[in-house]
Amino acid sequence: MSDILRFGIIGYGKMGRIRHDALARIEGCEVAVVCERAPVEDIPEEALFTTDPMKVIADPMLDAIVVCTSNDVMRDFVVAGLDAGKHVFCEKPPGRDMTELGEMVAAEAAHPGAKLMFGFNHRHHESMIKAKELIESGEYGELLWMRGRYGKSVDEDFFSTWRAKREIAGGGILLDQGIHMLDLFLMMAGDFDTVQAHVSNLYWNLDIEDNVFAIYSNAKGQCASLHSTMTQWRHIFSLEVFLSRGYIAINGLKTSSNSYGDEVMSVAKNRSAPPAASWTDEEKLVYHVDTSWDREIGMFVDCIRTGAPVPVGNSEDARKVLRLVEATYEAGRMTKTVNA
């Protein structure tokens, strides 16, 4: 392998551009080829352009590919990339279902020298890393329960996008956005064994869900509740972690659009006498810069260079979160009504 890692990006929409910019900030990385269905204006000067993804996959000069496509073709490009001997970074979700993920994992196993990583960038936000450190420190006691709310507002333009079509997307707001919150639950607690859910479409009247209310629990008795929604009418992100001797609350999420507001972490310890904690007892940390994209793709690059296993966003992480997604859909069995 040369000192320069050469990447090809398949899918040059918003995510493709984000991944390109992050790679451009890493010394020794070069985006050599960009693929999109139709020509785009802002192709990086150093990159070739093609509309044929298989040309990217077959290019012998590339070390790795980044898949930023619609969900229906992710599996095909991941498997083809691994079979071509490339390292592959793929956006979430890790397939539309467990069958597609299984095919990707089988291709990974057939090519043990190739790295496969899925894009769950929320784990790489500084607030999440700090929360995990606080939980593992034991200073705040044992994890008891979590509550996560993740929602956004969409308008009728959403109807024209591939995310509104089940045959392409594979699911609605849970698979598209709520999966990030589920992944954070797993990051903090490890795993869950049972799920109760209500999955509904009460407003948009599509064949995908617009709301999910779910409760997850494990053998330790730890519980997490999730509300994933696209009828929020305002963007919201909130993750609350309650422990036997304190709590951690993260409200807002730092993004390029700033749609979710400031990323603010509040931390407090319980007091021996009620009220257990007051607002004045809280320590507040505000994260002004989103470093998650650089941190995540940097991890992938490090694994390629060192040969180390992918520590976060690996196949086992993907299996755990997609298993919960499927179990949620099965438990909820989407209800539909016609909007009056």
- Least confidently predicted of 73-77, 98-102, 278-282, 292-296: 278-282
Domain ranges of the chain: 5-114, 122-290+323-336
Tens digit of each residue's pLDDT (9 = 90 or more) over 78-106:
999 999 999 999 999 999 999 999 999 99
Contacts of 318 (CB under 8 A, 6+ apart): 94, 95, 101, 105, 118
DSSP for 247-274 reads EEEEE----SS-TT--EEEEEEE--SSS
CATH superfamily of 122-290+323-336: Dihydrodipicolinate Reductase; domain 2 (3.30.360.10)
Q: Is the pTM of this model over 0.85?
A: yes
Residue 91 near residue 122, CB atoms below 8 Å: no
Mean predicted confidence (pLDDT) in 281-300: 95
The answer on pLDDT for 117 being more than 50 is: yes
- Least confidently predicted of 119-133, 215-229, 274-288: 274-288
The answer on pLDDT for 141 being more than 90 is: yes
- Least confidently predicted of 116-120, 202-206, 226-230, 284-288: 202-206
Distance of alpha carbon 43 from alpha carbon 31, whole angstroms: 10
Tens digit of each residue's pLDDT (9 = 90 or more) over 251-267:
999 998 889 999 999 99
CATH fold of the domain at 5-114: Rossmann fold (3.40.50)
Which residue in the block uniquely carries the two structure tokens 């603010």?
Answer: 264
Mean predicted confidence (pLDDT) in 199-204: 92
Model confidence at 142, pLDDT cuts 50, 70, 90, reads very high
Q: What is the pLDDT of residue 339?
A: 46
Q: What is the pLDDT of residue 178?
A: 98
Helix (H) or strand (E) run with residue 225 in it: strand 223-229
